A and B are shown apart, each in its own frame.
Chain A
Amino acid sequence: MKTRILETPLKMQNRIYLIALSLLLSACPKEPVQVDCMPCEEEDIEGTYAPAAYDFDLPEWMPRPIIPADNPMTQEGVALGRMLFYDPILSADSSLACAGCHLQELSFTDGQATSQGISGESGTRSSMALVNLAFNPQGFFWDGRSASLEAQALIPVEDHIELAEDWENVERKLRKHPQYPAAFRAAFGIEKRSELTRELAVKAIAQFERTLISVNSRYDQVIWDRMGFPTDSEQRGIALFFIEDVQNIAHPGCSHCHFNPLFTDNSFKNNGLDSVADLSEFSDLGRGMVNNNIYDNGKFRVPTLRNIALTAPYMHDGRFATLEEVLDQYSSGGHGVVNEDPNIRPFQLSAQDANR
């Protein structure tokens, strides 16, 4: 698919100014710029390379972020990744960015059960919250099929029900862009436009995504930062969520998988959503599709519960519209399918307890 970039008059004007400017700037010391090959792939990129380390400044009660040795965090890399994350240049028709399905105000989800790509076709799974990804050692996507955030970021660009572009074309667009080559140079020290590659683009996106850290909820403020005390209702909710084997207290057992401080154990579980007679009958095989282990059929990533009130609808396919429906599902105790997590057991909550 070829690009259909709509040049607005303003953009055209900008480009003319830019060409004029670069002509002026390069007029004295250099030979005249050859307009027909501009920007030349082998031309040196103007700009400096002096990356500054990115400081997470995490509270001591959080785990340490997992940073691949070949992609250290820099302020320039994060800034570039942020540009790419919000830039529809990564999609075939420049209509959709990563941020199209990952909206900051919804904790980087999109309020949809399943999201539409540029063609209007829907995916099969719900857009995941991008929260505290830097602490996940166990692969990305609902089924964990990408081992790293770098590998993950490659996929939506070429997925025909997401951005439906191809990376070669993205590289072409980025190389001739007025800002990106200098930003890539600032982040990764490349010297020529031809060195601007998809590998570097996903490294930058991964760096930006690793900065999406949520550690300042009311829970953190009360439990960790000691800014006030939990209310009566919150104290009861904390007990229900975390406590096991206490008489006279129902124990839903949430924290077996959704534990502090990430509120996920980053594992893959069958949480008892679907009743199947045979493990091969799940409509979405989930984890089992990645590793071909039949006992992993129907298993999906345990999602974080941080900002959970913002990320409806719920489950990998967005089947539940509200948290009440989610609690109803868990209290029913699953279907007894052989690989259901043993912590999926029926329990009873009063309506008041459910509200906590």
Chain B
Amino acid sequence: MNKWKWSIELCVFVLLMGCNPVEQDLSRIEYAPELLVLEVPPDWPSMPIPSDNPLTQEGVALGRMLFYDPILSLDSTQSCASCHLQSLAFTDAQAQSKGVLGLKGQRSAPSLANVGYYYQGLFWDGRVRDLETQSLHPVRDKKELASNWSLVLDRIQEHPQYPIAFRKAFNIKQREAIDSLMMAKALAQFQRTLLSFNAKFDQMNRGELEFTEAERRGWAMFFDAKEELPHAECSHCHTDPLFTNLEYQNNGIQELSAAGNYRDPGKALASGNPFDSGKFKVPTLRNIALTAPYMHRGQLSNLDEVLEHYISGGHYGENVSANVRKLALSERDKNDLITFLYTLTDSSFIENPNFGNPFKNAE
């Protein structure tokens, strides 16, 4: 009996020693980050990357783990990727997504394609300056991951792998040095790698493919390129190559209340300027065929409804963009525009193994 007890205790002791999960002194692990240079088409703008958070292989790999790890949510049931699915260009097909507490978000999950270029603020209302700041928000948001930083940091610091990954990415010496800003930096690095520039539209531009007749007509109307075709006025805001000018506009999607306000004041909530009321970030149209439903609250369920909205000129509002006005487009024009929008779908983006769930690949 006694013998048994001893051997069990010994076993437990050996087990504890053997899988002692957290390296106390991380400085013995090598810190030799490898800088990562993003490959983008030569005529694209250069991505604004903060000098205190250069892209490294290690940082991006860590950010990718964090992005796909439900450890960031209160009850470990949701990760960033729960509402940003790669297969849907990092959206989730919901008008408003539900967080871990079952509360619905106020706005639709936006696509993360080329999000690294967004230098004029993030979120639909632009309330944060950069990806580093943005990444801090969903963790605490009660309608999203509903967690808190002390809980998340405890889990990360006690984790068998994360302290080592943080050491390799950010040169920390102890696991206690991991903080929320460091996590946000890693998440930002990963998101900056989410580039989409290989749609049929790009291949046509590079001379690798020809557009069909319908695509060509849609393209011409989109860019107001031909006098003989109607102008759809899309490209004033959805400019090539990102298919967004990154600005905030009122596109007339909301109706004013009797008191002259919008239910969701959008940008005005962030800027405090009542003349920003009803303005939202112009979303990218890259992969737009994958990111239904549309608009900041997913009000429109398909591209046909979107086109109908713009043809109607939207609701009145004194700050509605001058480019949103009644359009004279035939049924054929509308269909050709939608056909053109499908050429912005980038299958190499949604299939890129570097953007997928790292835990799945490990299986």
Residues of A near any B CB (own CB < 8 A)? 55, 57, 59-60, 222-223, 225-230, 232-233, 235-236, 238-239, 242-243, 246, 249
Chain A, residue nearest B275 (CB): A246
**A243 to B269 Cα, complex, angstroms:** 12
Q: Say yes or no: B148 contacts A57, CB within 8 Å.
A: yes
Partner-binding segment picked from B160-168, B203-211, B256-264, B340-348: B256-264
Q: Say yes or no: B259 contacts A236, CB within 8 Å.
A: yes
Chain B, residue nearest A240 (CB): B274
What string of 1s and 0s marks CB contacts (under 8 Å) between B242-275 and chain A? 0000000000000001110101110001001111
Q: Say yes or no: A235 contacts B274, CB within 8 Å.
A: yes
Give min CB distance, B117 to chain A, whole Å.
24
What string of 1s and 0s marks CB contacts (under 8 Å) between B137-173 and chain A? 1001111000011100000000000000000000000
Q: What chain B residues lie within 8 Å of A222 (beta carbons)?
A: 269
Given A55-B150, A57-B150, A60-B136, A230-B274 contact (CB < 8 Å): no
Quick one: which of B106, B149, B277 contacts A226, CB cutoff 8 A? B106
**A250 to B30 Cα, complex, angstroms:** 62
Residues of B near any A CB (own CB < 8 A)? 106, 136-137, 140-143, 148-150, 180, 257-259, 261, 263-265, 269, 272-275, 277
Q: What chain B residues lie within 8 Å of A227 (beta carbons)?
A: 142-143
Q: What chain A residues lie within 8 Å of B263 (beta carbons)?
A: 229
Q: What chain B residues lie within 8 Å of A223 (beta carbons)?
A: 269
Query: Which residue among A60, A236, A246 has the maximum number of chain B CB atoms within 10 Å of its CB?
Result: A60
Give min CB distance, B157 to chain A, whole Å.
14
Chain B, residue nearest A232 (CB): B259
Give min CB distance, A343 to chain B, whole Å.
17
Q: Say yes or no: A57 contacts B149, CB within 8 Å.
A: yes
Q: What chain A residues lie within 8 Å of B180 (beta carbons)?
A: 60
Q: What chain A residues lie within 8 Å of B150 (beta carbons)?
A: 55, 57
Q: Say yes or no: A246 contacts B274, CB within 8 Å.
A: yes
Q: Say yes or no: A225 contacts B273, CB within 8 Å.
A: no
**A249 to B137 Cα, complex, angstroms:** 33
**A317 to B257 Cα, complex, angstroms:** 42
11 contacts between A and B (CB under 8 A): A59-B140, A60-B140, A225-B141, A232-B259, A232-B261, A235-B259, A238-B272, A238-B274, A239-B274, A242-B272, A243-B274
Q: Say yes or no: B265 contacts A226, CB within 8 Å.
A: no
Quick one: which of A55, A60, A243 contacts B272, CB cutoff 8 A? A243
- Give 3 closest A-B pairs by Cβ, nearest first: A232-B259, A239-B274, A235-B261
Give min CB distance, B280 to chain A, whole Å.
13
**A229 to B297 Cα, complex, angstroms:** 13
Q: Say yes or no: B106 contacts A229, CB within 8 Å.
A: yes
Give min CB distance, A54 to chain B, whole Å.
11
**A235 to B275 Cα, complex, angstroms:** 12
**A249 to B273 Cα, complex, angstroms:** 12
**A225 to B142 Cα, complex, angstroms:** 8
**A68 to B212 Cα, complex, angstroms:** 71
Q: What chain B residues lie within 8 Å of A59 (beta carbons)?
A: 140
Chain A, residue nearest B270 (CB): A223
